[in-house]
């Protein structure tokens, strides 16, 4: 039996303001059939019970549970950000804004705030999963978070970070992982770390039609070989290596490259030498754009936590959340919450009947 959208809404806890009669679709005639008790006055016991399928008017609804997590759609929604749009921004010198997100709420607010690019960074290993570093997170975990971010993102260009161990063994392995990020994770592109040595891998992925964001300078997945999270490019030789890496990933097909923890003068020169955008993180404002970890810049962490020098704390999400939850705790303990306005009324007559009915139970 086919049920109309209105009929299906009943099973989801939606109350209709008007009586409802389900319509049954005939598999042989393509018509809808209504019982004789239909609210349509034109149908009588002697009337034909079949009629052409007509669009149903959306019923008035009263919800008793949470509304859609997306909230009210914006009056003037943004256009979807595309690679041509990003290239046009770069050509005009318009800085590209990028931020990380790791779940539906963090992506929702980033997209609503107008971010050009949302990166599902492997930093979620630490900020969302409580791991020691990014080397612990696996593909399946990244894909779960990518899907969550994709559901919330309506305009920003989304990129998924390929985790350590998912792309280094061969270009074929990298392409297979990248395809999963697009098909299963619903990302528009992928990011991977490394310079000249990753050029064949980047070329393999981009030739398959998947945009790649490069990442050179401080590459956190390789922090053990770098001696920790250290600034890169502080000597002539190391600065030249970063430039060579950036040129190599550009030649391999990257649409942009992240420069992390690089002196601003070096980053500015590298930006001038490239024909693709550079996205700085701890690399000064001479880059084509900037990226930050959302948890860091919104202050969603407890007092006393050390954050990188390049992070500017724009908010105090932890403090506001702590205040709200503490107030909730106190009101529950004192029975101030829930108050009358937070409850649902029962008709007095029905309540009296209920009280009487339970006396003998």
Quickly tell me which residue has 């990518």 as its tokens. 146
Residues 204 and 169: their CA atoms lie apart, in Å, by 13
Residue 190 near residue 212, CB atoms below 8 Å: yes
Catalytic residue among 260, 265, 341, 356: 260
Please list, residue by residue across 42-51, b when 16 or more beta carbons sit within 10 angstroms of its beta carbon and e when fewer do.
ebeeeeeeee
Question: Smallest Cα–Cα separation from 48: which of 16, 17, 26?
Answer: 26
Indicate the pairing of strand 50-51 with strand 61-62: unpaired
Question: What tokens does 306 get?
Answer: 């050390």
Indicate the pairing of strand 256-260 with strand 212-217: parallel
Check whether the bond before 338 is cis (ω within 30° of 0).
Answer: yes
Indicate the pairing of strand 32-33 with strand 24-25: antiparallel
Residues 67 and 70: their CA atoms lie apart, in Å, by 8
Residue 164 near residue 184, CB atoms below 8 Å: no
Interior angle at CA 234, CA 232 and CA 239, nearest 5: 75
Residues 223 and 122: their CA atoms lie apart, in Å, by 14
Is 260 one of the annotated active-site residues of the chain? yes
Residues 346 and 121: their CA atoms lie apart, in Å, by 49
Residues assigned a catalytic role = 260
């Amino acid at each position: 039996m086919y049920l109309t959208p209105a009929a299906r809404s009943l099973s989801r806890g939606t109350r209709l303001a008007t009586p409802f009669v389900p319509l049954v679709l005939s598999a042989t005639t393509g018509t809808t059939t209504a019982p004789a008790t239909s609210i349509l006055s034109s149908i009588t016991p002697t009337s034909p019970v079949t009629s052409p399928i007509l669009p149903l008017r959306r019923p008035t609804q009263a919800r008793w549970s949470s509304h859609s997590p997306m909230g009210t759609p914006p009056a003037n929604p943004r256009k979807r950000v595309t690679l041509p749009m990003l290239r046009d921004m770069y050509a005009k010198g318009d800085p590209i804004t990028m931020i990380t997100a790791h779940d539906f709420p963090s992506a929702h607010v980033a997209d609503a705030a107008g971010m050009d690019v949302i990166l599902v960074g492997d930093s979620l290993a630490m900020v969302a999963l409580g791991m020691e570093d990014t080397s612990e997170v696996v593909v399946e975990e990244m894909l779960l978070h990518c899907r969550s971010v994709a559901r919330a993102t309506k305009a920003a260009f989304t990129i998924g970070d390929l985790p350590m161990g998912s792309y280094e063994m061969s270009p074929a392995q990298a392409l297979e992982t990248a395809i999963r990020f697009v098909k299963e994770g619903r990302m528009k592109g992928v990011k991977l770390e490394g310079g000249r040595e990753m050029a064949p891998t980047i070329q393999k992925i981009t030739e398959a039609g998947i945009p790649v964001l490069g990442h050179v300078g401080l590459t956190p997945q390789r922090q053990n070989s770098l001696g920790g999270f250290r600034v890169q490019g502080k000597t002539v030789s190391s600065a030249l290596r970063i430039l060579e890496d950036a040129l190599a990933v550009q030649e391999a097909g990257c649409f942009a490259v992240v420069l992390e923890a690089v002196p601003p003068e070096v980053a500015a020169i590298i930006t001038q030498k490239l024909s693709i955008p550079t996205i700085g993180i701890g690399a000064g404002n001479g880059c084509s754009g900037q990226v930050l970890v959302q948890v860091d810049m919104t202050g969603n962490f407890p007092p006393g936590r050390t954050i990188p020098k390049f992070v500017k704390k724009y908010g105090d999400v932890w403090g506001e959340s702590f205040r709200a939850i503490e107030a909730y705790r106190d009101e529950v303990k004192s029975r101030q919450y829930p108050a009358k306005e937070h409850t649902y009324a029962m008709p007095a007559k029905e309540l009296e009947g209920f009280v009487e009915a339970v006396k003998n139970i």
